[in-house]
């Protein structure tokens, strides 16, 4: 829940566990009209989370709202704010409005907290008392006076299910307290109301048995069996079947626990004769996959195994407990002295982590130490506990550990027991000290996730729409908990298609759909337990990471996002990694899967929305300034777009040479594109205009022409918003180049005309010359070589007049290329050599490679095939180096080299060159691929 600002009315209470009610300082607030009550109810059932305007209108008026619905909604919101007496309670938050509440102000929240405490209580008396307090909050059916609204029916159903689970938990506690006599009538009524709930029927059978009514207990089982067979075609579950057998056998384990006697030892063995503990949680139904992890655990019980401690760690909801539980059941026979289990509750908002001394108290009692003989101090308990476990073959399952300090006192002192620990945190110190084995658990593989869906839903339903099934598991980030919740929703609606379920899960992109009605099967709750365990700097960075536009982020970018230095952000990133709230796909890189990103965005909106804009601007500045620095190395002697001075709270990644520049772009170009898109959406037009220009050299060199066109369209739109004529001209020019390469010359000409006009009007000679060269290459692509030569001459004249040697090189190369195709080979080769001289003078490797390719083409057309091959090979040698690699240029050179080999009659070499060229052209989506493919189909024999 969100915390409201410090001003406003205190002492406010909202009641939803019955007719809707609001009180302020115990004074009832009158809510006028059905619409006002309905509006409050819808906001309450999503308290703290924005509810879209469309959803609110749909809730109030259904599928046919009046034309004035938006205005009426604002009126009702204003009236509701006045009725509550606190205008800051309902705030405008895109895409709608949110009602802010404090913890405990909604009776449903108080109910959930009491239930969680009751379920986690260490003794049945405390548990029963807390659960009774929770149930006493109910005043009738939830949202009773507005529950007919479709949007509230699901919430009301969820609350009713929570109440029923609480009733069953309280009955469990009362059974443990020996209150079976008073439970028979209550449980009989509950069974009549919920005839298919097997847990209720099991509780009734046990209560009847303990009340001396064994025949009645068995009759309940027979009735259950007949009902399940008739209604569902199923047999009772394994737990109910075991209970029936135990009743038939009058199993002493069904009796109430009595006072334990002193230990008795067998002669010669000194071994406790009490029943060995069997405390493992129930095995996981439909467990699939995880073969690698299961094999790693199984190695712990193989002959010669030395590790006595194993840690299974991973993010919230990844299935750590399920994995260990399933494996422990498989290997239980290896541990004849018992299996112990403790939930350390390391990550929970409603209860504190289990203290080591409390865990030891429970473990000692499981080992049949009478309560009055459990020592008082931690050290004394550790000593007795380790003495009892010495030489015993026991499996100890320490679930949900918070840190090493919580676990260390619970470790046995001998090598006999095997200890399995699950944690959301990597307990590196513990592993090092105990020489423990680490089993890191990640998301399910796609096939594993599909297998889980198939096991739970059936192959028919999954096979009906396999594409929807694939999309479903990806929407769930292949996270087992999310997938189980989604599958449970599908299982309760067998008539619904997987596609419709997927649409529901993706409707708002948030986490509302991932709630199965209980705290530990609510994805938002599960994530929150990890989030609230973070230090403030780590929690802040986790929230800000929701704003990362790309798939991942590097250390320098994360430092900029947080407004700090790389040195300061590294330990914070390490904390997030240890808590498994981020993945680390590569050194110094991290990412959030979509569900954690959605949760981080919710926390940012609730805890620190004011930080969002500044953090995103810092991140955009990081990408812009680093891309500009890297591009300067790629362009070398050409002009790179300018940028303002770097803000002091922004980190720019050091880029020292072309190799580092290429490496940075390879790692980050997808993120820079995403940053440009995000800037455009948010109206940050300066960044949206400049980021594509800073990326242009890399995209051209790599032949990413589709991305080039998309980003230049973004840049053009942003420049038009800014009214920046220079930026518009650059975007028109670059857009024209990409369009021409991909075979759209008509639109390319339009953009070129606009760019040339803008540069001429602005009196920008160098920019005009660059655009003339672009126009020349567009003409070359269309075989208009005379016009290409004219453009090249004009550009060359401008560069010479301005003394711009770096511009003369490409102008001479283009002029030579045009003369080559105008059958003026001698003149062309002379232009190429002058161009090559300039490029070598400037040590411009890319330019040298391009002119060598041009010389290869010229010599090929002149019939000088040996010289052509030599120049082509020299060009390829430069193009294929890491720092200078240009896939488009390389493809063109391979194509030309293939032509020369074919002219020499070496058809095998020609085929090889053309095959490599067509592969590159296909990867680039270039139309030249078809022409090369035609050559391959017509080539002579090898």
DSSP string across 405-431: HHHGGGS-SSSSSEEEEEESS--HHHH
Least confidently predicted of 217-231, 366-380, 401-415: 366-380
Average pLDDT for 620-648: 81
pLDDT band at 940; cut points 50, 70, 90: low
Is residue 438 scored above 90 in pLDDT? yes
pLDDT band at 627; cut points 50, 70, 90: very high
Evaluated on CA atoms 196, 199, 204, 209, the torsion sign reads positive
pTM of the full structure: 0.60
Average pLDDT for 787-802: 94
Q: Are 314 and 320 in contact (CB under 8 A)?
A: yes
Residues above pLDDT 70, as percent of the chain = 94
Average pLDDT for 501-507: 80
For 574-618, how does the pLDDT look when each residue is reduced to its tens digit (9 = 90+)? Answer: 999 888 888 888 788 888 888 888 889 999 998 888 999 999 999
Is residue 305 scored above 80 in pLDDT? no
pLDDT band at 870; cut points 50, 70, 90: very high
Mean pLDDT of the chain: 86
For 207-233, how does the pLDDT look when each residue is reduced to its tens digit (9 = 90+)? Answer: 998 888 888 899 999 999 999 888 888
For 276-291, how does the pLDDT look when each residue is reduced to its tens digit (9 = 90+)? Answer: 888 998 888 778 888 8
For 117-151, how does the pLDDT look when each residue is reduced to its tens digit (9 = 90+)? Answer: 888 776 788 888 889 999 999 988 898 888 677 77
Average pLDDT for 687-704: 89
pLDDT of the residue at 760: 83
pLDDT of the residue at 639: 54
3-state secondary structure of 864: coil
Long-range contacts of 564-573 (CB under 8 A, 24+ apart): 564/649, 565/651, 566/651, 569/541, 572/535, 572/537, 572/538, 572/541, 573/541
Strand partners, 437: 310
**Which of the given ranges, 20-34, 150-164, 792-806, has the highest pLDDT on average?**
792-806
Q: Are 919 and 926 in contact (CB under 8 A)?
A: no
Query: Smallest Cα–Cα separation from 602: which of 39, 156, 46?
Result: 46
Is residue 649 scored above 60 in pLDDT? yes
What is the rounded distance in angstroms from the CA atom of residue 360 to the CA atom of residue 499?
49
Give me the helix-helix angle, 685-702 and 612-635, nearest 10°.
Answer: 40
Q: Are 621 and 670 in contact (CB under 8 A)?
A: no
pLDDT band at 509; cut points 50, 70, 90: low
pLDDT band at 641; cut points 50, 70, 90: low
Residues above pLDDT 90, as percent of the chain = 37
Is residue 919 scored above 70 in pLDDT? yes
pLDDT of the residue at 91: 87
Contacts of 545 (CB under 8 A, 6+ apart): 553, 558, 561, 582, 590, 592, 597, 600
For strand 309-313 and strand 437-440, is the pairing parallel, antiparallel, or unpaired?
parallel
3-state secondary structure of 91: strand
Tokens 């996270």 — which residue?
479
Is residue 624 scored above 90 in pLDDT? yes
Is residue 933 scored above 80 in pLDDT? yes
pLDDT of the residue at 453: 87
Is residue 427 scored above 50 in pLDDT? yes
Strand partners, 106: 14
pLDDT of the residue at 638: 57
What is the rounded distance in angstroms from the CA atom of residue 265 to the CA atom of residue 825?
105
């Amino acid at each position: 829940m969100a915390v409201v600002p410090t001003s406003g009315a205190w002492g406010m209470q909202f009641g939803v566990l019955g007719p809707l009610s609001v009180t302020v300082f115990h004074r009832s607030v009158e809510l006028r009209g059905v619409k006002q009550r309905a509006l409050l109810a819808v906001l309450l059932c999503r308290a703290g989370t924005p509810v879209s305007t469309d959803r609110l209108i749909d809730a109030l008026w259904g599928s046919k709202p009046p034309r004035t619905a938006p205005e009426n909604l604002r009126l009702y919101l204003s009236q509701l704010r006045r009725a509550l007496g606190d205008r800051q309670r309902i705030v405008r938050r895109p895409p709608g409005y949110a009602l802010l509440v404090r913890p405990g102000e909604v009776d449903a929240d108080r109910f959930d907290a009491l239930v969680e405490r009751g379920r986690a209580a260490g003794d049945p008396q405390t548990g029963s008392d807390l659960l009774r307090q929770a149930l006493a909050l109910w005043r009738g059916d939830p949202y009773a006076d507005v529950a007919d609204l479709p949007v509230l029916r699901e919430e009301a159903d969820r609350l009713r299910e929570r109440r029923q689970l609480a009733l069953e938990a309280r009955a469990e506690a009362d059974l443990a307290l020996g209150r079976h006599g008073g439970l028979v009538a209550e449980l009989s009524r509950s069974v009549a109301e919920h005839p298919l709930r097997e847990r209720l029927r099991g509780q009734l059978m046990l209560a009847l048995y303990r009340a001396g009514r064994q025949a009645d207990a068995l009759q309940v089982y027979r009735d259950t069996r007949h009902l399940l067979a008739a209604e569902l075609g199923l047999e009772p579950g394994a737990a109910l079947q075991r209970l029936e057998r135990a009743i038939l056998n009058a199993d002493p384990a069904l009796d109430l626990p009595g006072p334990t006697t002193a230990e008795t030892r067998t002669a010669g063995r000194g071994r406790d004769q009490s029943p060995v503990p069997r405390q493992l949680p129930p095995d996981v139904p439909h467990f699939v996959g995880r073969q690698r992890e299961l094999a790693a655990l199984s190695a712990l019980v193989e002959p010669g195994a030395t590790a006595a401690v194993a840690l299974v760690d991973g993010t919230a909801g990844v299935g750590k407990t399920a994995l260990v539980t399933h494996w422990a059941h498989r290997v239980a026979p290896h541990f004849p002295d018992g299996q112990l289990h403790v939930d350390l509750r390391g990550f929970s908002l409603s209860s504190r982590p289990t203290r080591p001394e409390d865990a030891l108290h429970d473990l000692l009692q499981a080992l049949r130490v009478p309560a009055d003989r459990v020592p008082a101090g931690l050290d004394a308990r550790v000593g007795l506990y380790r003495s009892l476990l010495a030489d015993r073959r026991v499996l100890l399952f320490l679930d949900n550990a918070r840190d090493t300090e919580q676990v260390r006192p619970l470790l046995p002192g001998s090598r006999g027991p095997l200890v399995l620990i699950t944690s959301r945190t990597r307990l590196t110190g513990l592993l090092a000290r105990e020489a423990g084995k680490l089993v890191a658990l990640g998301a399910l593989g796609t096939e594993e996730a599909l297998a889980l869906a198939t096991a739970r839903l059936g192959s028919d339903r999954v096979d009906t729409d396999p594409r929807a099934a694939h999309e479903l598991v990806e929407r769930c980030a292949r996270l087992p908990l999310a997938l189980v919740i989604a599958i449970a929703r599908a299982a309760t609606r067998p008539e619904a298609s997987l596609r419709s379920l997927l649409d529901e899960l993706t409707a708002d992109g948030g986490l509302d759909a991932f709630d199965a009605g209980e705290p530990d099967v609510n994805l938002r709750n599960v994530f929150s337990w990890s989030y609230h365990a973070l230090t403030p700097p780590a929690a802040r960075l986790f929230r800000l990471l929701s704003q990362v536009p790309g798939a991942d982020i590097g250390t320098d970018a994360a430092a900029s996002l947080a407004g700090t230095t790389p040195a300061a952000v590294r330990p914070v990133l390490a904390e997030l990694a240890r808590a498994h709230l981020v993945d680390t796909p590569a050194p110094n890189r991290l990412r959030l899967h979509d569900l954690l990103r959605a949760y981080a965005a919710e926390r940012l909106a609730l805890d620190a929305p004011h930080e969002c804009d500044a953090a995103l601007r810092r991140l955009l500045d990081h990408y812009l300034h680093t891309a500009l620095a890297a591009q300067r190395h790629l362009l070398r002697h050409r002009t790179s777009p300018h940028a303002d001075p770097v803000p002091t709270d922004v980190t720019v990644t050091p880029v020292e040479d072309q190799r580092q520049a290429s490496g940075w772009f390879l790692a980050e170009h997808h993120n820079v594109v995403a940053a440009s898109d995000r800037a455009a959406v948010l109206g940050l037009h300066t960044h949206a205009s400049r980021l594509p220009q800073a990326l242009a050299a890399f995209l051209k060199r790599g032949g990413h022409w589709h991305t080039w066109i998309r980003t230049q369209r973004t840049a053009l739109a942003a420049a038009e918003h800014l009214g920046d004529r220079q930026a518009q001209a650059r975007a028109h020019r670059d857009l024209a180049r990409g369009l021409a390469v991909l075979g759209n010359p008509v639109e390319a000409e339009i953009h070129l005309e606009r760019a040339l006009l803008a540069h001429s009007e602005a009196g920008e000679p160098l920019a005009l010359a660059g655009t003339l060269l672009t126009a020349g290459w567009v003409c070359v692509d269309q075989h208009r070589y005379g016009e290409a030569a004219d453009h090249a001459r004009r550009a060359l004249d401008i560069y010479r007049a301005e003394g711009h040697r770096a511009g003369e090189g490409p102008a001479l190369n283009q002029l030579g290329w045009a003369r080559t195709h105008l059958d003026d080979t001698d003149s062309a080769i002379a232009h190429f050599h002058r161009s090559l001289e300039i490029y070598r003078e400037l040590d411009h490797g890319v330019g040298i490679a391009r002119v060598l390719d041009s010389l290869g083409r010229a010599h090929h057309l002149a019939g000088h095939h040996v010289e052509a091959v030599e120049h082509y090979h020299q060009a390829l040698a430069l193009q294929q180096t890491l720092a200078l690699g240009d896939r488009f240029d390389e493809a063109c050179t391979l194509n030309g080299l293939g032509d020369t080999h074919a002219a020499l009659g070496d058809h095998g070499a020609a085929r090889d060159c053309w095959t490599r060229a067509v592969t590159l052209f296909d990867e680039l989506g270039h139309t030249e691929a078809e022409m090369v493919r035609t050559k391959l189909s017509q080539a002579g024999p090898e």
